[in-house]
Structure 1
Amino acid sequence: MNIWIFNHYAKTPLQSAGTRHYELAKYLISKGCNVTIFASSYSNIQKKYLIEHEHANYQVEKVEGIRFVWLKTTSYQKNSTRILSFFSYYNQSIKTVKRVFANEKVDLIIGSSVHPLAALAAYKISKLKKSTFYFEERDLWPQTFIDFGKISENHIVSKFLFGLEKFLYKKSDKTIVLFDRAVDYVKSKGIDERKVIHIPNGVNLNAFKQRNESESIDEMFRDFEDKFMIIYTGSHGIANDLDKLIDLAEQVHLSDTEKNIHFLSVGAGPLKDKLIKKAAEKKLDNITFLEPVRKVDIPYLLSKANMSYIAILDSPLYKWGFSMNKLYDYLAAGLPMIMHTNSELVGEYNEIDGVFVSDHIETLRDKILWLSTHQEEIPRYSAALKNHVETRYSWDILGERIYKEMISDMKLNAIEVNDSKIRSEVR
C-alpha cells in the first residue's frame, strides 16, 4: 500500500516538534507499506528553514525508510503573518505533486490539520490520484478560536471554516480525531459515527527504554544536580496556561525552606518572553526557562527530572477531550505528574496513581513539598504511569488500529471498483 501524508508541521525526531506522523509512518512501513510525508521545511519553532533548498522549492529526503518531501513555504516571524504560510503550503503541495509525482500511483492519502488548508490540498490531490482520502482533524477549527474567545461563532471567517470542516468530513472516506470525545463533535455535524476513528497521539516506548545520553542535556542540568526537579516541555502559548506554572513556583518558593525544589520550562512560544518577565518581577530563583530540545533528546531530558507539569486551560473546548504529546512522554518516562486544571476536564487521568489533578494551587504545592521529602514513593508511581501508557498509547497499538482501518477500506474500495467494472461490461 502506498500512503501519502500531508502535514504542514511534520518533523523527524532530530528536530524540535511533534513526531506523530513519523512514528505512524515507521509502523506502517513495518507492515509493508510505502509512506511519503509532505511537510514544510520551515520551522515555526526555530523560525528558520531546516533544509537547504538552493534553487528548488522542494527537497526529498529518506529518513528510516520514510520519504519526506520538504516543501519551501513562506517564512514568518509573527503569528499575524502565519496565514500566508498556510496558503503557501497548500499551493506548494499541489504544484509539487503535479510537477514531480504526477505518474505515481497512491492508494491512500491523509490530510492532517493543524490548519484545514493542508487537508484541503490532500483532498484535491486524492481526487487527482483517485485515492482513498482520510481527513485527520488534530485541532477543531474554528471551534478552538471560538472557545478561546479569539473570534465569534457568527463571524464570516467562522462560518467559512465551519463550512470547510463539514466539506472535509463529507468528502473523506474516514475522519481521524485525536480527542476521545471528539467523535461526538463530528457526529453533532451530521456525520455517521462509523466514518470516525479515534487515534490519539502516542509514544515510541523504545525511545524511553533505550534512551540515548546527551552531553547538551547533561550541561543543562549541571546547575541542578542536587535539586528536586519539576519539568514542563512544550509550547508556551495561550492554551498552555503557563501563568499557573509561575504562580505555583511562587507558592513553592515561599514554602520550600530547604530551597531544593526547582522548576524547568523547556520550549518556545509566543508568551515565553512574557512568562520570563513575570517570573523576574516576582524575583523567583526556583524556575528556569530553556530553549526547545530535539524530540530524540526528550527521553533523556525527562530522565533527569523528578516530576512533570502540565496546565490545561479551563475552556469549553476541552469538553471534547485532549491529546497532548507531552502527556504520553511524561507517562513513558514514569514521571509523577502535576495536572494543574479542573479535575472534571481530565477524565481518565483522575484515576492514575501518580497523577495529581487540582485547580487549587495550595493542594498542588503541598503535593510537591510532600513528594520532595518522600521520594521513595516515586518508583511505585512510575510503575503505574508506565503501565497506563504501554497498554493504551504505544504506537504499536495505535498504528495497528489505523492499519486495520486502512486495510478494510482498501478491500471495500477494491470490491466497489470491481462491481463498477462488471456493471460497465454488462451495459
Structure 2
Amino acid sequence: MNILLINHYAGSPVRGMEFRPWLMAREWQKLGHTVTIVAADFTHLRSQNFEVPRSFTEVDVDGVPYVVLKTPRYHGNNAGRGRNIASFCLQLSAHAGRVARTYRPDAVIASSTYPVDIYAASKIARKAGARLYFELHDLWPLTPMVMGNLPWWNPIILILQGGENAAFARSNKIISILPDADRYIRERGYDVGKFVYIPNGVVREEENTAPAEPVPQVETLRALRADGWFLVGYTGNHSVANALETFIDAAVMLRDVRVKLVLVGKGNHKDALTARAAGAENVLFLDPVPKTAMGALLAELNAAYMGLAKSRLFDYGVSPNKLFDYMLAAKPVIYAVESSNNPVRDADCGLTVPVGSPRAVADAVRTLMAMDAPVRRQMGENGRAYVRRNHDYPTLAKRFLAALQD
C-alpha cells in the first residue's frame, strides 16, 4: 500500500515533536508498505526545523521520506502561526494533482492538529482515487474555544469548525488518540461507526538507550540522587494547561524533607513558573533534552508528575506521550488529571490526586517517600508492563494499518 500522511508538524526523534507520524511510518515500512510524510519546513514544536531551498523538496528523515513545504516563520501563537498554516494548506491544495501523480497514494491521512488540512487531503485523495482518513488529535475548534475563550462566531472558529465538519463527513475512517472521541463525534451529529481508537505509544528500544555523549541534565540529576535527594520530575512543555503551578506550590510544603521537584523542558509559561518558584530551593528547572536522552534522564527520577488543568476537553479522554514515557521508565506517577480515562489507575502505577491541590501533591510525594523501595519499584513496574502491553508502537501501527485496509 502507498500511504501519504499529511502532518504539518511532523518531526522525528532527532528533530523533535511531533514524533508519532515518523514512528508510525517506520513501522509501516517494516511491514512492507510505502510511506511519504508531507510536513512544513517550520513549526514552533520542533527543536530542529528543516532548511529547504523550495517547497516540495524531498528529504530523507532517518529512513522515512518527507516532502517539505516552505512556510513563513513565526513566533508565538499569533497571526504568524495562522499565515504559516494557511501557506501550508493552500500550497498543498494548489499542487494536489502533482502530489497525487507523483506519490500515487492508496490512502491519504489528514493528521495535522488543526482540521483544515482535510480540504487538500480530500482533493489529493480524489485525484489519486485513494481512500481518505482523518486522524483526530486535539479537539479543534473546541480547544481554542475553551483555552482561548473564543466564541463560536469568531471567524477562526468558523473556519476550524468547517474543517472538522468536512473531516467527519468525508473520511472513510476517523482515527483518534482519544479513547472517548466517539462521544464527541456523536455529539457533533456524525457517524461513530467510522471511529477507531489508536492511542499514543512508546518505543521499546528507548528503555535501554544510553546517549552517545554525556548529557548535563542527566549528570545533574545523577549527582543529586547520589547525594540522597528524592527526585520527582516533570518533563515536557511548560504551559498553562499542564498545571505546573500546583507542582511548584507543593514544594513549599516539602521543605522539611530531602526532596527536589524537577521541571525539564521549555515553553511560553516557563518564565512565569520560574518567577513563581523564586526562593524555593527545592525546585529545579532544567533545559529540555533530546528524545534520545529521555530514557536516561527518567532513570534518575524517583517519581514523576503528570498534571492538567481542569477542562471539559478531557471529558473525551487523554493520551499523553509524557505519561507513557514515565510508565515505560517504570516510574511511579503522581497523576493530577480529571478525564474520562485514567491510565495510572488502570495500570496501578501511581497515585491519583485532585486537580489544583498542592497539598494533595505534597502528600502524594510523602506517601511515595515513605514506601519501602520494593513496593515503589513494583508500582513503577506495573506501569511498564501496562504500556508494553497496550501502547507499543509496532502493535499500534498494525492496528492503524488494519483501519486503513478495512
Q: Same fold judged by TM-score > 0.5?
A: yes
TM-score by length of 2: 0.91
Q: Which residue of 1 aligns with 2:24?
A: 24
Query: Which runs of no fewer than 5 residues in structure 1 stay unpaired?
Result: 409-427
Helix, strand or coil at the partner of 1:221: helix
Q: Which residue of 1 aligns with 2:64?
A: 66
Contact 1:17 1:295 in 2 (8 A): no
Q: Which residue of 1 aligns with 2:403?
A: 405
Aligned residues: 399
How much has 1:302 moved relative to structure 2? 1.0
The separation in 2 between residues aligned to 1:222 and 1:331, in whole angstroms, is: 20
Listed one character per residue, the Cα deviations across residues 253-273 of structure 1 (whole Å, up to 9, x for unaligned) are 3x42xxx31122122221111
1:78 aligns with 2:73: no
Contact 1:299 1:333 in 2 (8 A): yes
The separation in 1 between residues aligned to 2:94 and 2:158, in whole angstroms, is: 28
1:203 aligns with 2:202: yes
The separation in 1 between residues aligned to 2:219 and 2:210, in whole angstroms, is: 17
- 2:87 is aligned with what amino acid? S
The separation in 2 between residues aligned to 1:274 and 1:62, in whole angstroms, is: 39
The separation in 2 between residues aligned to 1:299 and 1:76, in whole angstroms, is: 31
Listed one character per residue, the Cα deviations across residues 172-213 of structure 1 (whole Å, up to 9, x for unaligned) are 111111111111111222222221111111111122144546
Listed one character per residue, the Cα deviations across residues 17-68 of structure 1 (whole Å, up to 9, x for unaligned) are 2311111111111111011111122241467x62332x32343222343112
Q: Which residue of 1 aligns with 2:117?
A: 118
Q: Which residue of 2 aligns with 1:420?
A: none
The counterpart of 1:336, out of the listed 327, 332, 343, is: 332
How much has 1:372 moved relative to structure 2? 2.5
The separation in 2 between residues aligned to 1:115 and 1:135, in whole angstroms, is: 11
The separation in 2 between residues aligned to 1:46 and 1:105, in whole angstroms, is: 28
| Deviating more after overlay: 151-160 vs 377-386 | 151-160
The counterpart of 2:350, out of the listed 351, 355, 367, is: 355
- 2:124 is aligned with what amino acid? I
1:369 aligns with 2:366: yes
CA 1:195 to 1:351, structure 2 compared with 1: closer, same or farther past 3 Å?
Answer: closer
How much has 1:362 moved relative to structure 2? 2.3
The separation in 1 between residues aligned to 2:82 and 2:252, in whole angstroms, is: 37
Q: Which residue of 2 aligns with 1:8?
A: 8
Helix, strand or coil at the partner of 1:391: helix
How much has 1:15 moved relative to structure 2? 2.2
Q: Which residue of 2 aligns with 1:415?
A: none
Helix, strand or coil at the partner of 1:4: strand
Listed one character per residue, the Cα deviations across residues 327-361 of structure 1 (whole Å, up to 9, x for unaligned) are 1111111110011234x654343343232111243
Query: Which runs of no fewer than 5 residues in structure 2 stay unpaired?
Result: none
CA 1:213 to 1:332, structure 2 compared with 1: closer, same or farther past 3 Å?
Answer: farther
Contact 1:16 1:292 in 2 (8 A): no
Contact 1:34 1:66 in 2 (8 A): no
Q: Which residue of 1 aligns with 2:187?
A: 188
Helix, strand or coil at the partner of 1:308: strand
The separation in 1 between residues aligned to 2:149 and 2:114, in whole angstroms, is: 16
Percent identity for Structure 1 against Structure 2: 28
Listed one character per residue, the Cα deviations across residues 86-114 of structure 1 (whole Å, up to 9, x for unaligned) are 11221343456655774331111111131
Q: Max radius of gyration: which structure?
A: 1
The separation in 2 between residues aligned to 1:363 and 1:251, in whole angstroms, is: 10
Q: Which residue of 1 aligns with 2:271?
A: 273
Contact 2:316 2:340 in 1 (8 A): no
Q: Which residue of 2 aligns with 1:246?
A: 248
1:305 aligns with 2:301: yes
Contact 2:15 2:46 in 1 (8 A): no
**Equivalent residue runs for 1:388-399 within 5 Å:** 388-399=386-397
Contact 2:179 2:197 in 1 (8 A): yes
TM-score by length of 1: 0.87
| Deviating more after overlay: 15-24 vs 168-177 | 15-24
The separation in 2 between residues aligned to 1:145 and 1:165, in whole angstroms, is: 13
- 1:140 is aligned with what amino acid? L
Cα RMSD (Å): 2.2
How much has 1:82 moved relative to structure 2? 1.3
- 1:289 is aligned with what amino acid? F
